[in-house]
Amino acid sequence: MFTIEHEYDATVVTLVDEGKAPLQEDVTVNAFDDCITVSQLDPRTDEMMQITISLSQLRDLQAALDLPEGVYRLRRPE
């Protein structure tokens, strides 16, 4: 299950883990104009862990999900 909310400066997607235990904590994805942040609560420390990726890294991740094992570089139209 997931939710989508449109905030003032970001689109927020929350991914909820469903199914058989053990379940993971919710993942929150914030899409800003210049970057994406991914956050998840670490239950061991009770702290939110966050990474920030660029829009270029997001495009690479999107492409990587459909490719076999290997090393790739996306070509951008010039």
Is 76 part of any domain? no
d(CA 8, CA 26): 22
Is 78 part of any domain? no
d(CA 36, CA 3): 16
pLDDT for 63 equals 85
Is 9 part of any domain? yes
pLDDT for 42 equals 96
Span 13-72, pLDDT tens digits = 999 999 898 899 999 999 999 999 999 999 999 999 999 999 999 988 888 888 888 888
pLDDT for 69 equals 83
pLDDT for 76 equals 72
Q: Write out the residue range of the structural domain in which residue 59 sits.
A: 2-64
pTM reported for the whole predicted model: 0.81
Structural contact between residues 26 and 19, judged by C-beta atoms closer than 8 angstroms: no
Q: How many separate domains does the chain show?
A: 1
Residue 3 pLDDT class (50, 70, 90 cuts): very high
Among 5-9, 20-24, 73-77, which is the least confidently predicted range? Answer: 73-77
